[in-house]
């Protein structure tokens, strides 16, 4: 599977390399229309996660209506979007989630891939909605990719998400999606965010995902008010000292043990490198020149470390994006935030568009795989199990 992915990845890189090289030069002198988009369609949520505070700012009354969303997408800003992600909050809490996906497909003429991250915690809503999106994407020839979040095996998942029987509930959605894969083509897997509370469970999650034949992505915890509303949690949740080294080892082990051409290894190597080098980012990020994000209330911003540039319910999205003060803010982000930013968002897209960093990674990864490094002794969990109640 990984080899097929890598072959496609390299083929895409080779095919689009001439155009992307021109674009990367042009982007130095001229702002480009975005190709990558993340839409937090609501902050309303069916979990109360320990490492994310989006659930605290959920307010259905503030969410844009479907008509407002459609009107915002009528702007020429979106004409080059190739990769769109629906996130939140929990997207499946919106009754019109399928219509929002349809609006994106209708409004983005160059859309190639649609992605949804979901808790899967409300299976009776999530399964029919996600099935409709799978059918829609198949009918409209758009690649669909979906991940259910799993942050621990059994009890641990419920403790991280503060939801009773969370593992069983998410499991229902996972099983239904695996069944659906027998009928339709789409990418499906799980996503796991690793931080001090569940670091000890990371190997368990990995073993479980292998047993269940589930593709898995591990996220290293990060803190950003714009995207996760959680900057104040950093002091409490960021792994430090031995825990940080344990986390680095976990990501390096992935690079060493998983197939070298697995798409995620590029990101895991980046996490391990950043822990080693004191959080200096060396990896590319598409949001520096060609990404944009939208919040439920219509606030438009460049990336997870960006200020809000304007609101699409009161102003045309393209005008906001290309305004002088917006572009000045983007330069400020590049100078002051990018050098230490941990974001993996669509990093693979950036790597496809910049062949050299990916080739460099392949060399580094093969060196790592030949280097023997002793595994440090296990570290006891730094925080006691969560005592927050279930919902």
Ligand X SMILES: C[S@@+](CC[C@H](N)C(=O)[O-])C[C@H]1O[C@@H](n2cnc3c(N)ncnc32)[C@H](O)[C@@H]1O
Q: Which residues bind ligand X (CB under 6 A)?
A: 45, 51-52, 54, 87-90, 117-119, 149, 191, 193, 219, 221-222, 228, 230
Cβ(373)–Cβ(252) under 8 Å?
yes
114 binds, among ligand SF4, ligand X, none (CB under 5 to 8 A by kind): none
CB of 3 to ligand X, least distance (A): 26
Nearer to ligand SF4, 54 or 198 (CB): 54
**Nearest approach, Cβ of 273 to ligand X (angstroms)?**
18
Q: Which residue matches tokens 């999606």? A: 177
* DSSP secondary structure string for all residues of 160-193: HHT-TTHHHHHHHHHHHHHHHTTTS--EEEEEEE
Given ligand SF4, ligand X, none, residue 221, with its beta carbon under 5 to 8 Å by kind, binds ligand X
Q: Which is nearer to ligand X, 75 or 248 (CB)?
A: 248
Residues sharing a CB contact under 8 Å with residue 210, sequence separation 6 or more, in sequence order: none
CB of 50 to ligand X, least distance (A): 9
Q: Residue 54 or 305: which CB sits closer to ligand X?
A: 54
Residue 127 CB, nearest approach to ligand X (Å): 15
The entry of ligand X, ligand SF4, none that residue 42 binds, CB within 5 to 8 Å by partner kind: none
Residue 238 CB, shortest distance to ligand SF4, in Å, is: 16
230 binds, among ligand X, ligand SF4, none (CB under 5 to 8 A by kind): ligand X
Residue closer to ligand SF4 (CB basis): 98 or 166: 166
Which residue, 193 or 295, is less far from ligand X as judged by CB?
193
Q: From the CB of 281, what's the least distance to ligand SF4, in Å?
A: 6
What gap in Å lies between CA 87 and CA 296, rounded to an integer?
10
Residue with smaller CB distance to ligand X, 216 or 300: 216
Minimum gap (Å) between residue 187 Cβ and ligand X:
15
Question: Least Å distance between CB 112 and ligand SF4?
Answer: 21
Distance (Å, whole) CA 217 – CA 148: 10
Q: Which residues contact 255 (CB under 8 A, 6 or more apart)?
A: 265, 268, 269, 272, 365, 368, 369
- Rounded to the nearest 10°, the torsion over CA 201, 206, 208, 214 is 140
Question: Of the two residues 35 and 117, which places its CB atom closer to ligand X in the complex?
Answer: 117
- Name beta bridge partners: 292: 37
Q: How far is CA 69 from CA 34, 75, 105, in A?
A: 17, 11, 13
Helix (H, G, I), strand (E, B) or coil at 262: coil
Written as six digits, the tokens of 309 are 């540039």
Long-range contact set of residues 386-391: C-beta below 8 Å, sequence gap at least 24: 386/50, 386/159, 386/160, 386/162, 386/197, 388/48, 388/50, 388/162, 389/162, 390/158, 390/162, 390/163, 390/164, 391/46, 391/47, 391/48, 391/162, 391/163, 391/164
Spatial CB neighbours of 330, under 8 Å, sequence gap ≥ 6:
31, 288, 302, 306
- By C-beta, is 20 or 189 nearer to ligand X? 189
Smallest gap from Cβ 175 to ligand SF4, in A, equals 20
Measured in residues, the chain has a length of 391
The entry of ligand SF4, ligand X, none that residue 126 binds, CB within 5 to 8 Å by partner kind: none
265 binds, among ligand SF4, ligand X, none (CB under 5 to 8 A by kind): none
Q: Which partner in ligand X, ligand SF4, none is near 118 (CB below 5 to 8 A by kind)?
A: ligand X
- Binding partner of residue 341 among ligand X, ligand SF4, none, CB under 5 to 8 Å per kind? ligand SF4
Q: If contact means CB under 5 to 8 A according to the sort of partner, which of ligand X, ligand SF4, none does residue 191 touch?
A: ligand X
Cβ proximity to ligand SF4: between 91 and 263 the closer is 91
- Distance from C-alpha of 286 to C-alpha of 16, rounded to nearest angstrom: 15
Binding residues for ligand SF4, per CB under 6 A? 45, 47, 49, 52, 54-55, 88-90, 119, 285, 287-288, 303-305, 333, 337-338, 341, 343
CB-wise, 89 or 263, nearer to ligand X? 89
Give the Cβ contact number of residue 35 at 10 Å: 23
Nearest to 302, CA basis, from 283, 282, 281, 317? 317
Residue nearest to ligand X (CB): 52
What minimum distance in Å lies between the beta carbon of 157 and ligand SF4? 11
b/e for 228-244, b at 16 or more Cβ within 10 A?
bbbeebeeebbbeeebe
């Amino acid at each position: 599977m990984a080899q097929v992915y890598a072959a496609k990845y390299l083929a895409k890189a080779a095919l689009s390399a001439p155009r992307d090289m021109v674009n990367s030069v042009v982007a130095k002198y001229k702002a480009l229309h975005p190709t990558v988009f993340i839409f937090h369609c609501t902050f309303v949520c069916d979990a109360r996660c320990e490492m994310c505070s989006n659930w605290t700012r959920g307010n259905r009354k503030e969410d844009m209506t479907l008509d407002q969303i459609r009107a915002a997408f009528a702007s020429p800003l979106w004409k080059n979007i190739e990769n769109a992600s629906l996130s939140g909050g929990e997207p499946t809490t919106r009754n019109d989630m399928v219509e929002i996906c349809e609006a994106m497909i209708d409004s983005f003429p160059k859309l190639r891939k649609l992605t949804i991250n979901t808790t899967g915690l409300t299976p009776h809503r999530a399964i029919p909605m996600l099935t409709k999106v799978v059918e829609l994407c198949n009918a409209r020839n758009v690649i669909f990719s979906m991940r259910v979040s799993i942050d621990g095996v059994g009890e641990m998942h419920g403790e991280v998400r503060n939801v009773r029987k969370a593992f069983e509930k998410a499991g229902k959605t996972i099983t239904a999606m695996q069944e659906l894969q027998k009928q339709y083509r789409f990418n499906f897997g799980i996503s796991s965010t690793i931080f001090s509370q569940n670091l000890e469970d990371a190997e368990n999650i990995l073993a479980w995902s292998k047993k269940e034949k589930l593709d898995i992505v591990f996220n290293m915890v990060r803190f950003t008010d714009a995207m996760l509303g959680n900057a104040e949690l950093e002091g409490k949740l960021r792994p430090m000292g031995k825990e940080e080294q344990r986390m680095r080892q976990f990501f390096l082990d992935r690079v060493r043990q998983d197939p070298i051409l697995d798409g995620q290894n590029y990101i895991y190597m980046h996490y391990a490198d950043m822990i080693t080098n004191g959080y200096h980012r060396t990896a590319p990020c598409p949001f520096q020149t060609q990404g944009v994000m939208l919040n439920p209330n219509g606030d438009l911003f460049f990336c997870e470390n960006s200020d809000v540039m304007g609101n699409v319910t009161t102003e045309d999205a393209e005008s906001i994006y290309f305004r002088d003060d917006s572009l000045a803010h983007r330069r400020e982000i590049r100078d002051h935030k990018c050098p230490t930013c941990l974001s993996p968002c669509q990093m693979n897209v950036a790597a496809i568009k910049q062949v050299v960093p990916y080739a460099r990674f392949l060399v580094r990864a093969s060196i790592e795989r030949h280097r023997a490094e002793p595994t440090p002794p296990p570290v006891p969990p730094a925080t006691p199990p969560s005592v927050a109640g279930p919902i």
